[in-house]
Amino acid sequence: MTNPLPENGLAVADLEMANRLLDAISRVSQLISKERLRYPDRLRGVLEIILEYLGAEQGSIMILEKKDLVVQAASRKKLIGLRQPLNDLCCVASWVASTGTPLFLPDISKDHRFRGRGHGTYKKHSLLSVPIINGNRTFGVINVTDKAGPRDLFKEDIHYLLEFSGLLMWLMTREKLLNDLNKQRRALKKKNLELEQKQKIMEELSSMLIHDLKGPLSEVIANLDILSYSIDETQREFLDAAQLGCERTVRMVSNLVSVHKMEDGRIRLLIEEADPANLLMEAVTGIKGLARNKEVDITLDIPPNSPPIRVDRVLILRVLQNLLTNALHFSPASSSITTSIGLLEEGRIIEFSISDQGPGIPVAKQQIIFDKYARIAGGSDTLIGSGLGLYFCKLVINEHKGRIRVDSRPESGSTFAFQLPV
């Protein structure tokens, strides 16, 4: 009958080895995940844990860079940065990296495939070298030699070293992903700076154009007004068309200025108490002459005793003017525009609405009609305006904590309405 003690002793030794391996793997994992630690320091820390686990005194981690293996971590610091050509198969590390095969040499001095090592540098002739592999690609090599004490390295140590090579592959992949991410961040930051510079140039150019346009346009409008007193009725149609074109251009320029300022947060609302009925009547009065020339009738539906509202009077008046001008532009001759004021939610909300009998707006267009530079197609399917008028209206209403919407069906006209708190 055999004595079970040796088997029990072997089992205990195996368990201790397994526990030591798990502890070493855990420490490597923590080191890899540790924040604010440089990549070279992580590699050095992993190498130290590997050497401690195997009981070895010397080792190195070499990473493949193009056609060379470069020492990135080593027990002897002077080796860091040294390069070894991958095609130099007389070197153990190059042979392991090229073949992708782990190698255990009990005595390198007796293996004629490889060059001998420097005398006095190493205490023992045995060494281990395993590749760092992902799939079919080799990314580096781990080298271990000079096991401390009377024992030497064993071939079985290759299996343990391969466990650590997998963790190193994780570290290298993590580092590559971080580098790629940082590179993309830098590229994105550079692109954003370029876009900001272009945006600034565009804004400066817009400001220059606006400044240069305003003066001449105001002069043209004034001259057209003077001219209106000295022409006969046969020429009035042409004069009215010129006035309408100038007024639309002035409004477009004003919208452009206001949109830029509102987007940059440079417009502060000048809140004052205003009578909603007076606001609507003033806006209608401004286009009555143009509507009369186009034979478009404008009706007002205003309830008596509408409650006053606290708004930026100038901006809300411009919203009404924009909506009325759009309605007039798309209204056919001899049609009508209906403007109204209504109270909602037991008088807590006031709603302004403007309805025309124009061609209407397709449902798909209604989803984007208030977007910047979105434009409405006319009857001939040509795009009208700068695409800033309705966007300006949305910005103003949003600043007043209100809502703006459109209800429309093709060939049935459109209703633009906005709601404001009372």
- Assign residue 384 the CATH number of its domain: 3.30.565.10
Confidence of residue 265 (pLDDT cuts 50, 70, 90): confident
**161 by DSSP, 3-state: which?**
helix
pTM above 0.75, yes or no: no
pLDDT at 20: 84
Residue where a domain stops, chosen among 183, 206, 232: 183
With respect to residue 201, please indicate whether it lies within any of the assigned structural domains.
Answer: no
Confidence of residue 267 (pLDDT cuts 50, 70, 90): confident
Dihedral-angle region of residue 134 (phi above 0 means left; psi in -120 to 50 means alpha; beta otherwise): beta
Contact between 397 and 319 (Cβ < 8 Å): yes
Tokens of 81: 């940065």
Q: Is the pLDDT of residue 285 over 80?
A: yes
Residue with tokens 């009958």: 1
Across 249-278, average pLDDT = 81
Quick one: which of 419, 294, 412, 416 has its CA closest to 360? 412
83 vs 117, higher pLDDT = 83
Residue 36: pLDDT over 80: yes
- CB atoms < 10 A from the CB of 61, how many? 25
* C-alpha 118, offset from chain centre: 56
Domain of residue 50, residue span: 5-183
Name the DSSP class of 332: P
**Taking CA 229 as the corner, what is the angle to CA 225 and CA 233, rounded to the nearest 5 degrees?**
110
Residue 415 lies in a domain: yes
- The full length of the chain comes to 422
Considering only 108-122, 310-324, 395-409, which range has the smallest mean pLDDT?
Answer: 108-122
Residue 223 in domain: no
Q: From 183, 208, 238, give the residue that closes a domain.
A: 183
When mean pLDDT is compared across 181-195, 279-293, 300-314, 395-409, the lowest value belongs to: 279-293
User: How much is the pLDDT for 11?
Assistant: 63
What contacts 53, CB < 8 A, 6 or more positions away?
20, 21, 24, 160, 164
Asked if residue 227 is part of any domain, the answer here is: no
Which residue matches tokens 């609405």?
Answer: 353
φ, ψ (nearest 5 deg) of residue 211 = -60, -40
Per-residue model confidence (pLDDT) at position 383: 40
Phi, psi of 3 (to 5 degrees): -80, 125
202-217 pLDDT per residue, tens: 777 777 777 777 778 7
Residues 243-259 have a mean pLDDT of 74
Inside any domain, residue 205: no
Q: Whole-angstrom Cα distance, residue 382 to residue 271?
A: 38
Residue 121: what pLDDT? Answer: 63
Mean per-residue pLDDT, 175-183? 92
> In CATH, what number is assigned to the domain containing residue 65?
3.30.450.40
Q: What is the mean pLDDT of the chain?
A: 85
**Residue 178 and residue 277 in one domain:** no
Q: How far, in Å, are 55, 156, 272, 356 from residue 152 at the CA level?
A: 9, 11, 92, 96
Q: Is 350 exposed, middle or buried (0-12, 13-18, 19+ CB in 10 A)?
A: buried
Higher pLDDT, 206 or 63: 63
- Alpha-carbon dihedral angle through residues 394, 396, 397, 398, given to the nearest 10 degrees: 80
* pLDDT, average across residues 319-348: 93
45, 139: one domain = yes
- Do both 166 and 296 map to the same domain? no
Give the whole-angstrom CA distance, residue 349 versus residue 357: 26
